[in-house]
Structure 1
Amino acid sequence: MVKIICTLADHSDDVNCCAFSSSLLATCSLDKTVHLYSLSDFTELPHSPLKFHTYAVHCCCFSPSGYVLASCSTDGTTVVWNTQNGQILAVMEQPSESPVRVCRFSPDSTCLVSGAADGTVVLWNAQSYKLYRCGSVKDGSLVACAFSPNGNFFVTGSSSGDLTVWDDKMRCLHSEKAHDLGITSCDFSSQPVSDGEQGLQFFRLASCGQDRQVKIWIVSFTHSLGFELKHKSTLSGHCAPVLACAFSHNGQMLVSGSVDKSVLVYDTNAEIILFRLTQHTRYVTTCAFAPSMLLLATGSMDKTVNIWQFEPETLSQVRSIEDQPNQFTEDWSEDDVAMWLCEQGLKDLVDIFKMNNIDGRELLHLTKESLADDFKIESLGLRSKVLRKIEELKIKMKSLSSGIPDEFICPITRELMKDPVIAADGYSYEKEAMENWISKKKRTSPMTNLVLPSVVLTPNRTLKMAINRWLDTHQK
Structure 2
Amino acid sequence: MAKLIHTLADHSDDVNCCAFSSSLLATCSLDKTIRLYFLSDFTELPLSPLKFHTYAVHCCCFSPSGHILASCSTDGTTALWNTQNGQMLAAMEQPSGSPVRVCRFSPDSTRLVSGAADGTVVLWNTQSYKLHRSGSVKDGSLVACAFSPNGIIFVTGSSCGDLTVWDDKMRCLHSEKAHDLGITCCDFSSQPISDGEQDLQFFRLASCGQDCQIKIWVVSFTHILGFKLKYKSTLHGHCAPVLACAFSHNGQLLVSGSVDKSVIVYDTNTENILHTLTQHTRYVTTCAFAPNILLLATGSMDKTVNIWQFDLETLCQARSAEDHLKHFTEDWSEDDVSAWLCAQDLKDLVDIFKMNNIDGRELLNLTKECLADDLKIDGYSYEKEAIENWISKKKRTSPMTNLVLPSTVLTPNRTLKMAINRWLETYQK
> How big is the shift at 1:61?
0.3
Q: Which residue of 2 aligns with 1:415?
A: none
Unaligned runs of 5+ in 2: 320-338, 344-429
Q: 1:300 to 1:125 in 2, by over 3 A?
A: same
Superposed CA deviations along residues 10-58 of structure 1, whole A, max 9, x for unmatched, are 0000000000000000000000000000000000000000000000000
Secondary structure of the structure 2 residue equivalent to 1:169 = coil
Q: Which residue is equivalent to 2:166?
A: 166
Q: How does 1:75-474 map to 2 (within 5 A)?
A: 75-195=75-195, 199-317=199-317
Distance in 2, matches of 1:212 and 1:313, equals 28
Q: Provide the residue aligned with 1:37 in structure 2.
A: 37
Q: Is the 8 A contact 1:111 1:123 kept in 2?
A: yes
2:267 and 2:318 in contact (8 A); partners too: no
Q: CA distance change for structure 1 residues 101 and 52 in 2, over 3 Å: closer, same or farther? A: same
Number of matched residues?
A: 323
User: Given residue 5 of structure 2, which amino acid in structure 1 is its aligned partner?
Assistant: I
CA distance in 1, matches of 2:196, 2:16: 36
Q: Which has the higher contact order (CA 8 A, sep 6+)?
A: 2
2:218 and 2:195 mapped to 1: Cα distance? 11
Q: Is the 8 A contact 1:100 1:114 kept in 2?
A: yes
2: CA distance, partners of 1:135 / 1:14: 30
Q: Per the alignment, in what secondary structure is the counterpart of residue 314 of structure 1?
A: helix
Unmatched segments (≥5 aa) in structure 1: 320-338, 344-476
Residue 313 of structure 1 deviates from its aligned partner by 4.3
Contact 1:161 1:183 in 2 (8 A): yes
The 2-side partners of 1:179 and 1:318 are apart by 27
Q: Distance in 2 between matches of 1:33 and 1:156?
A: 25
CA gap of 1:227–1:277, structure 2 versus 1, over 3 A, is same
Q: Is the 8 A contact 1:196 1:202 kept in 2?
A: no
Which residue in the other structure is 2:74 paired with?
A: 74
SS where residue 316 of structure 1 aligns?
helix
Residue aligned with 2:163, SS: strand
Q: Say which SS state the counterpart of residue 315 (structure 1) adopts.
A: helix
2:256/2:287 contact within 8 Å kept: yes
Tell me the distance in 1 between the aligned counterparts of 2:279 and 2:162: 31
Q: Is the 8 A contact 1:267 1:315 kept in 2?
A: no
Q: Which moved more, 1:103-112 or 1:221-230?
A: 221-230
Q: Are the aligned partners of 1:25 and 1:38 in contact in 2 as well (CA < 8 Å)? A: yes
Change (3 A) 1:318 1:293: closer
In the alignment, which residue of structure 2 is the partner of 1:377?
A: none
Report the Cα offset of residue 198 of structure 1. Answer: 7.0
The one-letter amino acid paired with 2:124 is: W
RMSD: 1.7
CA contact (8 A) 1:20 1:288 kept: yes
Pairwise CA distance, 1:197: 5.3
Per-residue CA distance 1:178-208 (angstroms, 9 max, x = gap):
0000000000000111336573010000000
In the aligned structure 1, how far is the partner of 2:249 from the partner of 2:8?
22
How far off is 1:221 after superposition? Answer: 1.0
Aligned equivalents of 1:293, 1:10: Cα separation in 2: 24
* Cα separation, partners in 2 of 1:243 and 1:196, compared to 1, 3 Å: farther
Q: Please tell me the residue identity of whatever aligns with 1:108.
A: D
User: Counterpart in 2 of 1:28?
Assistant: 28
- Whether contact under 8 Å (1:13, 1:303) holds in the other structure is yes
Q: Secondary structure at the match of 1:240?
A: coil
Question: Residue 55 of structure 2 aligns to which amino acid in structure 1?
Answer: Y
Tell me, yes or no, if the aligned pair for 2:244 and 2:256 is still in contact at 8 Å: yes
SS of the aligned residue for 1:86 comes to coil
TM-score, length basis structure 2: 0.74
Q: Distance in 2 between matches of 1:237 and 1:313?
A: 21
Paired amino acid for 1:54 = T
Q: Please report the TM-score for the alignment, with normalisation by the length of structure 1.
A: 0.66
Aligned-partner Cα distance in 2 for 1:159–1:139: 8
Structure 1 stretches of 4+ moved >6 Å: none
- CA–CA separation in structure 2 for the residues paired with 1:110 and 1:313: 38
1:153 and 1:272 mapped to 2: Cα distance? 29
* 3-state SS in 2 of match to 1:291: coil
Deviation (angstroms), 1:89: 0.1
